[in-house]
Amino acid sequence: MVPQVFLSLSGYDDAFVEKVWRRLPEGLALFYKKSFANGQKLLDAMEEGVDRSSVFVLFASKHSIDSCWVGFEVDQARLAKIQRPNLRVLVFPLSADITSAVLPTWMRQYWVSRAGWNPQDIARYVRHILTSPPIAPSSLSARVFGRGQHLDMANQRLMTAVAETHATPNVLVFTGVNGIGRRTFARYLLEQSLPALPELRFGPELLLPQFADLADLYRGLREQIDPNFSLQTFERDLPVFQNMSLPEQVEEVANSIAYFGELGQAVFAVTGSGLFEDRGNPKPWVRPLFNALATRSQAKLCIVAHRQFREEELRSHRNVFQLYVPPLKDPDIRALITFASGAFGLKPLSPSDNLVSAIGGHPDIAKAAVRLIAQRGEHILEKSPNILFSVQDEILSENLDVEALSEVQQEVLCMLSWVPRLSGRILERVVMARHKTSGPDFAESIDNLILGCLVLVAGSGFAISSAIREMFRRRYGYGPSGLIKEFSAALSDEWRQSVENSEFRSELFDAFVFMHALEGKSLPDELQNLLLPSTLQEVIRETYARGRDDAEALRRVVAWGSIAQKMKLDETVREEILSSVVRAHIRLGEYAAAEQFMKLFDKNGYRSAPFLRGFSLRRQDKHRDALPFL
């Protein structure tokens, strides 16, 4: 059953709580203005809402404490707590002059004093409660398997670092391959190793692009901190940040991280290779940021990344602790498969040794295998020994087969494959309009996709697993008839509402950008100033990969990539983007246009110039001339 939360408030606090509600994953929250059917008696609706909720949230203000309606809800919550001890009660003060003394005696123990004061802080706290045991559904309450020995080793190393430096490291770097459980282990380590700091795990998780930079951290943190973060303020402040010196930029970001440190919370930054240049060296801002955080002991930054730092690079940063998260061992994969089978309503599975070995220690692949068995039967992974040679790709591919997905699930994955991440509200809106499905049915579809590791929870929304993004696009492309048009319309409407409400939501803006590129539209001039280099780089990379032999897609690469000529960005990123523009020109047969760019490459000393010139000559069938450049 999908957990739900009842929000109890005074009508005077509507505007604030509305902002909280919009940041809760769709299908998890009951909000009386939004969730009660017209014509239903209000008291009956309140009573039923409390009775079926997993979490009761009271927004404590002078108005709500004096409200008879809120008083009724509080009384219902007390009865529900007696009848259902697992009901979670949370009380958030909305101003500093409200204390727990104004509450009924039984409710004072549920006072949350350090969540923060803005809607983002409270929504994040509630989301964490909803996605953690015992409230969370099985798809989100991840039981940790096979990490006991690794936890012991990590604790030994952590305590050694504490003994040597007389301080707990406040920058923790977790490295390893995708799908191996780095984020799960990061939170597990904090919970088990630092029990005196229970609020650490309530901090924001910033899902940054593959090639994220300091501006991405700045935007992500500002969005979490500023209660009035709007299109206008970001349009005003981003150029100011970009024109700062590097030390000033680092100070700005470090101070933002320290905001969460004062709340006892850690910031989680998840990125691919965003900390490193293409040659493997840390980007110029990384080590200064580590130094700045060393002077802010309360601040905590947990980084989840692909690459490890060299030991000599960290030697001078005694506040940094790096840990490699390895694949699970075969017995742990076997235990995980047996445990996960219950979540899909299967009898306990006993996978073969060959299958367990072929999964390669990836917990996400193991869960996807269980989902596939639930859809197709145990024979699907044992039908041919040849499957075992490519079992990881086979499991993911079979999970994406039309027989393994409902129509709603296919369309959800289609929409998520087009954009980096997306609010559940937009997904539900499109799905319900196309299929007349109910909110609980939509939530059940999402829950199944999360359980099978095809979809991830990303803040207040969702993202498709990176392991299947490209595979899904190749298989389903633009999706069923009319979907892209309806999705684009819903996205545009959501963007319009966001602007009218003076909000800037980064996941919505990035989705808006990606859909403009997908549909062959140019980005309005007024929005180009808000585009981050990493977002443009991802748009160009995906558009080029999707359309190497598609003339229209290549023209979109040229049009969008040319934006990089005027942007303020790192020269390495500019070279990467413009390289795609050159390759697009060459594939289109526009060799003169490509040559003009290559002259710019020569002037700027870009290392890719010889390869691109050789590629151009080869495409012109001048193979002998191309040889010296390749």
Look at residue 288 in the predicted model and tell me its pLDDT: 96
Q: What gap in Å lies between CA 34 and CA 595, rounded to an integer?
A: 58
Per-residue model confidence as pLDDT tens digits over 280-303? 889 999 999 999 999 999 999 999
Evaluate whether 220 touches 506 at the Cβ level (below 8 Å): yes
Q: Confirm if 234 and 219 have CB atoms less than 8 A apart.
A: yes
In the beta sheet, which residues pair with residue 276?
282
> pLDDT value at position 38?
46
Q: What is the pLDDT of residue 320?
A: 94
91 beta partners: 58, 111
Q: Quote the DSSP letter at residue 282.
A: B
Residue pointed to by tokens 């991830």: 456
Contact 338, 348 (CB under 8 A): yes
Please answer whether residues 30 and 4 qualify as being in contact, where contact means their C-beta atoms are separated by less than 8 angstroms.
yes
- Predicted confidence (pLDDT) per residue in 190-240, tens digit: 888 888 788 888 999 998 887 788 999 999 999 999 988 998 999 999 999
CA distances from 157 to 152, 184, 185, 317, 354 (A): 9, 19, 15, 15, 34
Q: Report domain extents, the chain.
A: 5-130, 148-324, 330-402, 405-514, 532-630
Q: Where are the beta strands (DSSP E) in 434-577?
A: 455-458, 461-464
Q: Are 263 and 116 in contact (CB under 8 A)?
A: yes
Tell me which residues of the chain have a pLDDT lower than 70.
Answer: 1-2, 27-49, 69, 136-142, 380-403, 548, 630
Cα separation values, 328 from 155, 268, 322, 561, Å: 18, 23, 19, 41
DSSP codes joined into one string, 73-142: HHHHHHHHHHH-TT-EEEEEESSTT--GGGS-GGGGGGB--SS-SSHHHHHHHHHHHHTSTTTS-TTT--
**Do the Cβ atoms of 484 and 519 come closer than 8 Å?**
yes
Q: Cβ distance 85 to 118 under 8 Å?
A: no
Q: How many CB atoms lie within 10 A of CB 404?
A: 19
CA distance linking residue 186 with residue 175, whole number of Å: 10
Q: Which two tokens stand for residue 62?
A: 């002078």
DSSP element (H, E) containing 587:
helix 571-587
- pLDDT, residue 223, reads 93
Which H helix or E strand runs over 483? Answer: helix 483-500
Q: What is the pLDDT of residues 481-500, one digit of tens each?
A: 889 999 999 999 999 988 88
Q: Provide the pLDDT for residue 194.
A: 85
Stated pTM of the model: 0.86
CATH code linked to domain 148-324: 3.40.50
Residue 388 to residue 560: CA distance in whole angstroms: 42
Is 405-514 in CATH node 1.10.10?
yes
Question: How many of the other CB atoms lie within 10 Å of CB of 570?
Answer: 18
Q: Is 1 exposed, middle or buried (0-12, 13-18, 19+ CB in 10 A)?
A: exposed
Cα dihedral across residues 273, 274, 277, 282: positive or negative:
negative
5-130 belongs to CATH 3.10.20.740: no
Task: Examine domains 5-130 and 148-324 and report if their fold is the same.
Answer: yes
- Helix ranges (DSSP H) in 319-455: 330-343, 353-359, 363-376, 391-399, 407-418, 424-435, 439-451
C-alpha to C-alpha distances, 428 to 18, 111, 116, 251, 500, nearest whole angstrom? 18, 33, 29, 40, 22
The strand pairing partners of 58, in sequence order, are 8, 91
Q: List, in order, residues 6 or more apart from 462 with CB less than 8 Å away.
A: 25, 412, 416, 421, 422, 424, 427, 446, 450, 455, 456
